[in-house]
Amino acid sequence: MAQDAFQDLQQQLGSEVPLGFLRLDPEQLRHLADAIEDADRRHAQALSVAGEQALGHVPKLLRARIRALVG
């Protein structure tokens, strides 16, 4: 059970997690993975808002083209 939560955390981070994290119980590992996922989601949202605010400085006629270039 702890091994599954440990692997979930590794997958969430996209890299190896130090083996010392195996000392945490599965609930703690899941809580950590959830916190990281939540932080990633908030970070992506903040970047999106910042990007939209930055486009406010670009002339309206160019915004659609810039959005298409940046993705």
The per-residue pLDDT for 67 is: 86
Name residues of the chain where pLDDT drops below 50: none
pLDDT, residue 28, reads 92
Q: Which two tokens stand for residue 67?
A: 């959005």
pLDDT of residue 1: 63
Locate 7 and state its tokens.
Answer: 């692997």
Question: pTM for the whole thing?
Answer: 0.71
Q: For residue 3, what pLDDT is reported? A: 79
The pLDDT of residue 17 = 87
User: Dihedrals φ, ψ of 14, to 5°?
Assistant: 75, 20
User: How far apart, in Å, are the Cα atoms of 51 and each of 42, 59, 62, 69?
Assistant: 14, 14, 14, 13
